Amino acid sequence: MIPSVTLTMVDGVRVVVPDSLDLITPYVLREQQDWFEDEIKFLRHLLQPGQKVIDIGANYGVYALSMARTVGPTGHVWAFEPATSTAKLLAAGIAANDFSHVTLAQSALSGEKGVAQLSMRQHSELNALVRGAPSTGAHETVPVVTMDDCMETYGWQDIELVKIDAEGEEANILKGGTRFFAEQSPLVLYEIRAGQELHLELLQAFHSLGYNSYRLVPGLNLLVSFTAESPPDDFLLNLFCCKPDRAARLAELGWLLESPTHTLGAREEQINRARGKTGSHDSHGWRNVLTKMPYGSSLAGLWEQTVAAGQSGQVEDALVLHSLSRDASLTPRERFSALEASYGKLRALCESDASHLRLSSLSRVAWEYGARKIAAEALAQLCNRFIQVKSADLSEPFLLPGERFDSVPPGEAFGNWILSAAVEEFERISAYSSFYSPGLSRLHLESIRDLGFFGPEMRRRLELLELRSGRSDVSIKA
């Protein structure tokens, strides 16, 4: 049996996992000191002390323990994990955090009460109930319960959130929870992607119970409507859903936006209203925003010359819109409209003329909007161009690909600095973790190291890759 290790996440939660770099969760927690999904970060803001949540498919407890920290001892978390070895480590994690308000149930949920076979994969995140013929691989027999049964057993009332990550069992869980979902009105976080397959049929399954679906906009910590006709990003893993009454409460608190405005006229009207609230165009222009950052103050004079030549009007407009999207004094609808408009302008501009560092700005805005594939493609194009021509045109105002470099002074090596910023963000967003792309990640990380702008996370990533490849002279630094 693999020995265990206790790892601490950014919120202070301790998670007990197998001590192996060949398994997903212990690797990712060492690498990022957190889980790689944006939804876990969103829930730390959304959930409040005293609330009650349910985690179906809790695994080692990354979500369950983090949510338990957020809701505190006056709240409660019910965590369901059927696999014996995984549940033991989750129990150890509950004890390591001294969480008396977490109930661990070692059972699976489905459409009917009974027993079933659970296939045991190398990566516990992929364990799944077996249907049809008995499994020929590693498996164990586990108890199966339904949500309706559990509502009686645990006396569930006023449940704030349900997380469902059940490797294809979601539809059956809904069948076994008809009364629960009718009588309760939680926000539900559910997995939409399994491998390369996108299970859009779950949107209809939830909709038939009165639950509408939403996606997270990472840059705004905002939920916006998502339907089967919405274009899914290749990196989309999870959706949220809820009934209209819950949606109305979340909208009132600024966490959810119903029916975002997509018509050009209505969107422009909202953007103009937002500009009127916050003053002149210049208050959100690059002179008052980007020049407050080390790189902007260094490049302001050069930018003035380019802008004076009248060649960057569309870029300036896109940057103003991005700045409006980050203005907390505006309504969620105004901020989302501004972000969407900035994304649309930059994407169209880069398709026609991707000169200067417009691809860098597009990548930043695309990621914040939730178009992660577009963000990664923009950075790949930018890096390839930089490698070919050995220079970057810094003469037009631009956004950096990621937030870390906003506060990193470029010094005299502007070329190394911007290439490092682009490669680091590409490494971060082109895959969920270096675990999945060790060869390519090593090339990225060694490049950043050699350029002289190595940050703590990128250093951890390279050290992990070297440890995983068998080098014994490497230790992980915090």
Question: For residue 265, what pLDDT is reported?
Answer: 58
Rounded to two decimals, the pTM is 0.92
What letter would DSSP give residue 243? -
Pairing status of strand 256-257 against strand 114-119: unpaired
Question: For residue 433, what pLDDT is reported?
Answer: 96
Question: For residue 268, what pLDDT is reported?
Answer: 65
Question: For residue 131, what pLDDT is reported?
Answer: 62
- In one-letter notation, the amino acid at residue 315 is V
What are the Cα distances from residue 261, in Å, to 139, 239, 257, 279? 49, 20, 10, 23
Pairing status of strand 102-105 against strand 76-80: parallel
Q: Could you give phi then psi for residue 145, rounded to 5 degrees? A: -130, 170
State the Cα–Cα distance between residues 238 and 209, nearest whole angstrom.
19
> How crowded is the C-beta side of 59, counted as CA atoms within 13 Å?
23
pLDDT < 50 positions in the chain: 280, 472-478
Question: For residue 391, what pLDDT is reported?
Answer: 81
What are the Cα distances from residue 406, in Å, to 90, 284, 289, 418, 447? 38, 17, 11, 11, 20
Question: For residue 246, what pLDDT is reported?
Answer: 98
Residue ranges of domains in the chain, CATH in brackets: 4-257 (3.40.50.150), 264-430 (no CATH)
Q: Which helix (H) or strand (E) holds 80?
A: strand 76-80
